[in-house]
Structure 1
């Protein structure tokens, strides 16, 4: 009988303790302040270096967190010597509409000129942007997972960085729209088209390196030659009547990625040049959306 009474007393004591514990937890929850939901915001012309061209715009989504919010990085074209981040504003609007939970960084980089080589200067600027984003990770509430979207020279830089400088495997995807991939392509080294000759001469002029003197230099700055099997998923868009980028640049890059077992998609538009509109632009948009959804 005493044993039963003692057991009942112990049970009552345990129940009383559990009720007190639940009351304390309940009061604690009532008094705690929930984390505020961050609102959508943007910051324009953020400096990431001392040069006036080292600036980016950043667009941050509502409800972002440092654990879940991935980042698009947009890289404009302009033959490495001109262009501006405003050229990519249409991509900003598209991404905000179709991928509203991602952050977007639209960057400017230092422009090259004769005697002022883009390599490694412009790759160093991309490195500096990523370092700056990491330093602001808590403030911005973003992850260190990136997807590059580049056009023309910007696509070349996006691929070159993603294939040769992505040591921490932080780039999850890259998109090239009419980006040069191989400066050792015979179309540039021994050009038969005047427009290819003009681009080949410009590249040699701004780098200060002649094809004939240092072909290894041009391999080192060609995505086609530096890509490895660890490259991120890549989507490629080209036109087969491009006066600046021969179709071999896209075709050969696609075949190289296939050989290496790198996930990729390739579209070449018949009759299109260095950019397109209408149905083909819609096709590009739809394919890019699907690729982002699957791979980023």
Structure 2
């Protein structure tokens, strides 16, 4: 089984400067954008345990979804291996990225009220935390600009940082304020959540509990479980899982009114 993702011109901007560190995001635009139209936006945060990772992880997703009509952003953020930082700085950067996109909506030709945050593993944590976690804002951010996305697309996200959850040894007692699972509240954005049943980091029970709490506060949470799949199952290197998760993402965004028409992604069986 194979998938083909065609070449596409990419723009880049620096969205944040901290001392000598310049954080960049790559931008994928829809082809032949209509004059006077504002498009949905989607920002992706890569996985890697807040330790490493690359924006290239979600490049195939951005290429496809931009062709479907979404302006897609692949945002870099500080990690331990490169900047000797903690998960708290990673979250500050994710919030800064969303504020930058929303503040520059006219420049990017996007609708600031149709902003989707997405990510995998620790990047999934960042996406969810921008929506749910109130502290950990960069002192230089314009807090009058909301960092809360309008929808979430989460790929085996690290949503429990409490005792027994991922990252507790680094987060410690701050988990009460840092862990998305512990901060779900009314108004949480509609969410789609992808998880493998053999994920060694995020138990199925955790995903199911997250969905239960979301529904209790009146928010939508579509949980999709993939039998036998482990952590990172959704990546492009696994064509079948990539295809099915992106297809469900497409349907989810269409149900919210962010996309129109049938999905165009095709899986070739060889």
Aligned counterparts, 1:206-225, within 5 A: 207=171, 209=172, 214=173, 217-225=174-182
Unpaired runs of 5+ residues, structure 1, are 1-39, 189-198
1:177-203 per-position Cα deviation (integer Å, ceiling 9, x unaligned): 111111225x44xxxxxxxxxx54xx5
Aligned counterparts, 1:264-275, within 5 A: 264-275=221-232
Give the drift of 1:286: 1.9
Q: 1:172 to 1:134 in 2, by over 3 A?
A: closer
Give the drift of 1:102: 1.7
Aligned counterparts, 1:64-143, within 5 A: 64=34, 68-97=38-67, 99=68, 101-112=69-80, 116-119=85-88, 121-143=89-111
1:148-176 per-position Cα deviation (integer Å, ceiling 9, x unaligned): 12111000110011123598486221011
Tell me if 1:148 matches 2:113: no
| Contact 1:150–1:175 (CA under 8 A) maintained in structure 2 | yes
Tell me if 1:261 matches 2:218: yes
Q: Distance in 2 between matches of 1:271 and 1:141?
A: 41
State the match for 2:198 in structure 1.
241
SS at structure 2 position matched to 1:123: helix
| Contact 2:120–2:232 (CA under 8 A) maintained in structure 1 | no
State the match for 1:204 in structure 2.
169
Q: Distance in 2 between matches of 1:248 and 1:41?
A: 41
**TM-score when normalising by structure 1:** 0.70
State the match for 1:282 in structure 2.
243
Give the drift of 1:75: 0.9
State the match for 1:60 in structure 2.
29
Q: 1:55 to 1:41 in 2, by over 3 A?
A: same
State the match for 1:8 in structure 2.
none
**Structure with greater helix share of residues:** 1
Q: Which moved more, 1:236-245 or 1:132-141?
A: 132-141
Tell me if 1:230 matches 2:195: no
Q: Distance in 2 between matches of 1:291 and 1:179?
A: 17
* Residue 162 of structure 1, aligned match among 131, 142, 145: 131
Tell me if 1:47 matches 2:8: no
**Cα RMSD after superposing both structures:** 2.6
**Structure with greater strand share of residues:** 2
**TM-score when normalising by structure 2:** 0.76
Give the drift of 1:67: 5.3
Q: 1:143 to 1:115 in 2, by over 3 A?
A: same
Greater RCO between the two (CA within 8 Å, min separation 6)?
A: 2
* Residue 173 of structure 1, aligned match among 129, 151, 154: 151
Give the drift of 1:41: 6.0
State the match for 2:265 in structure 1.
none
Q: Distance in 2 between matches of 1:260 and 1:111?
A: 33
